[in-house]
Amino acid sequence: MPSLLPPRAAVLTVSALLLSTVLAGCGDDAQGEDVTRQELSWKACPAPDEAQGGGASPSPLPDDGEWQCATMKAPLDWGDPKGDTIGLELIRVRTTGAENERIGSLIFNFGGPGGSGVASLPAFAEGYEKLRTRYDLVSFDPRGVGRSDPVICENDQQLDAYFQQDGTPDDAAERTRLLDSTTEFNDACEQNSGKILPHVRTTDAARDLDLMRQVLGDGKLHYFGISYGTELGGVYAHLFPQRVGRAVFDAVVDPTQNAEQSSLGQAKGFQLALDNFAEDCVSKTEECPIGDSAQDVKDRIARLLDDLDRKPIEGIFPRQLTQTAATSGILQALYSKDLWEFLTDGLEEAYDGNGSTLMFLSDTMNGRSENGEYDNSVAAFTAISCADVEPRYDAAYVERRLPEFRAASPLFGDSLAWGMIGCTDWAVAGAAEHPDVSAPGAAPILVVGNTGDPATPYEGARAMVNALGKGVGVELTYRGQGHGAYDSKNKCVQGAVNGYLLDGKVPPAGTVCT
């Protein structure tokens, strides 16, 4: 499934919260004619650039479905819709169905914030082939992401050092280094991307979505949002309730929580995932190679992280595996049950002094390719998160909150608590404590929660349903593991989602899939 990971678990809060108010002067009819009437020029997609993660051009799908890319112009400032514009990169593959069966475009946002939809959709499109029978599949790089006027902060060498430092300080000197490093990173973002930083809020992206809907020729927005994409979808529904078509929210972020509450919830969620991982390992017929009992598995991981705090081990040359990198690698693997065996191997190797697998997992989380280049997900995540979230937390506040975070997760509590300082010195003021997603009058939105989701805990689905309002949110529960439900390939989940998106059949509220 798509990687929906935070770029830096030790320094940044994992979930972004959204702006809840409409930008002043941006009424429904405020968009300039020059952008609403534009025609997109679709062409063969180029290879992803460094900001998108690099790699080869997307390969045709098994039925020879060709990928097409285009650039859509949007106002840089939605408060001045006839002013400067930016280019937003789109990707699509056309429907396999007959024209008279085509519903329209189904637009995906895979999460982050900061993930490139142009890079993600081709990687996972085979899992959505059923949906392609009636939709063109479309995704995009949101403003500030990938090829869409990317936020740029530090260079590759600086980022290597940034991710190697101690993200969970134990004394005053380590705390000072962490705070200084965070300030330097944030200052670099302002120096290199100051023009766009005030214009990457989620309300801006929601207005881009509505422009996209118009330019693609759809009367309603048909939408599939995953993780942060559920917040973006919720804000869209709040701003444009009458324009919501068939929409699905999967791996649902709780829209009622502020940044601290979200981080604390994730500490509990990842601890639950670790508990489940440990239980799974020792329950297998073959001997678990990393512990004799579930508690032993967790105790050995804790000792490893303590040892790495004192003395890192060999990672991927020339870098060493630090405590922070190992923690990030473990978090990465807990996002999907498919990675649990990989995590077991990585831990077993690390106990023997080889940290390469855990460092590979950490690099994946942080957007680092094997050639040492970083995509811009770190910068974009920071920029969007800090523009959205109003609270700012200093070191003294974090230290007061550490006991509660450690109680929620002895292993991850410190990392997620210290992550709250990421926006403290940000150049742009945060917009709101949490988003307003109330959407009275909107069409039904299918909200899918996974009971074992570590990153967007299950309770967020019910909170989203309640916040959307009566008659809008329809809750579906998946009793499974990992981040998200549809990509688990559970037939019950996929049947319900496909039934709504393809045929308009809303499943009964409270449906449970196992």
DSSP 94: -
From the candidates 377, 409, 483, 487, give the one annotated as an active-site residue: 483
Q: Which of 375, 414, 436, 453 is catalytic?
A: 453
Joined together, the tokens standing for residue 180 give 């200084």
**Cβ-Cβ contacts under 8 Å for 334 (sequence gap 6 or more):** 270, 273, 274, 277, 343, 454
Of 8, 2, 3, 5, which Cα lies nearest the Cα of 379?
8
Phi, psi dihedrals of residue 85, rounded to the nearest 5°: -115, 160
Q: Which residue has the tokens 């962490």?
A: 178
Q: Take residue 392 and report the two structure tokens written for it.
A: 């700012």
Q: What is d(CA 307, CA 451) in angstroms, rounded to the nearest whole number?
A: 33
- Nearest alpha-carbon partner for 246 in 509, 500, 511: 500
Whether 293 sits among the annotated catalytic residues: the reply is no
199 is catalytic: no
CB 477 within 8 A of CB 449: yes
Work out the angle at residue 324's Cα, subtended by the Cα atoms of residues 323 and 325, and round it to the nearest 5 degrees: 95
CB of 344 closer than 8 Å to CB of 489: no
Active site residue 414: no
Query: Which two tokens mark 99?
Result: 């024209």
For residue 314, report the phi and psi dihedrals to the nearest 5 degrees. Answer: -60, 130
> No. of H helices and E strands in the chain?
16, 12
What is the CB-side half-sphere exposure of residue 172 using CA atoms within 13 A?
A: 0
CA distance readout (Å), 450 to 266, 308, 435:
14, 33, 22
**How far is it, in rounded angstroms, from Cα 235 to Cα 231?**
6
DSSP 2-26: -----S-TTTS-SS-----SPPTT-
The Cα 296–Cα 302 span in angstroms is 10
Catalytic: which of 227, 328, 409, 488? Answer: 227
The answer, yes or no, to whether the previous bond of 391 is cis (omega within 30 of 0) is: no
Which element (helix H / strand E) includes 85? Answer: strand 85-93
Q: What is each CA distance from 335 to 73, 251, 255, 404, 483, in whole angstroms?
A: 35, 11, 21, 23, 5
Please tell me the distance from the alpha carbon of residue 136 to that of residue 97, in angstroms, as a whole number: 9
What positions carry a catalytic annotation?
Answer: 227, 453, 483
